[in-house]
Amino acid sequence: MIGKTGSGKSTLLKTIYGEIKPTGGEMSVAGFDLLNLKSSQVPLIRRRLGMVFQDFQLLTDRTVNENLIFVMRATGWKDKIAMLEKCDELLDKVKLEGKGSSMPHQLSGGEQQRVCIARALINNPQIILADEPTGNLDPETSYDVMNILKEMNNDGMSILMATHNYSLIERFPAKTYQFKDGKIEVILSHDDK
C-alpha cells in the first residue's frame, strides 16, 4: 500500500489487527469477522498476524532473546528450551545469528528492525502487517530489510506493507494499492512485472 502520510494506510492496518473497529461493510482476516470482533478475540487474531512497526517497539531493558521470549510467554509458550531454540531459528532467518544476547541499543536500526521481523514470526502468522517498516532506515538498510521480507514472501508468507517510499515499490514490485483522495486503486498488479 502506498500513499501520502494521512491517506489511510495505517488506519487500514490498525483495523486489520483489531485496534480500530470498522464502522460498516464487510471485513474479515484470518477467519475473524472484523465488523463483529469482540475485544476478547483481539489477542487471538493478533496471534495469527505478525506486526512490524516503523518505531521498532523493542523493550530497551532486555536482550534480543528476552524481547522474543517476552512475546512467546505472552502468547502461551511455556517450554524454556523450545523458546531458546525458536529464538535461534528466528535470528538465523533474519540474518542476526549470535545477536541474541545483545541489547537493542547495541544494534543498528536495520538490525533492530530485523529483530522486529523475527518477533513478528514467532507464532507462524498467516500474514505479516508491516507499517512503514523502513521509515527510520537509510536506503541501503531499507533494501536489506525489504530483501528479508521478499524472501519470506517468496516462501509463501503473505505480507501487507504500508509505505510512502515510491523507490521501494520500484525496486521490489508487487501488487500495489495506491491510497489517494479517499480512494484505493491498484496501480501495479503482480502480473505486470
Q: List pLDDT tens digits, range 146-171.
A: 998 998 898 888 999 998 888 888 88
The structural domain count of the chain equals: 1
Strand extents, DSSP E, 25-175: 28-29, 32-33, 49-53, 127-131, 158-162
Q: Which domain holds residue 13?
A: 2-192
Which of 52-56, 79-83, 183-187 is the least confident region? 52-56
Q: Name the pTM for this structure.
A: 0.85
- Distance (Å, whole) CA 72 – CA 87: 10
pLDDT at 102: 97
Residues 125-152 have pLDDT tens digits of 989 999 988 888 888 888 888 998 998 8
Q: Which CA distances in Å does 161 have to 47, 50, 103, 130, 168?
A: 18, 11, 27, 5, 11
Q: What is the CATH number of the domain that holds 71?
A: 3.40.50.300
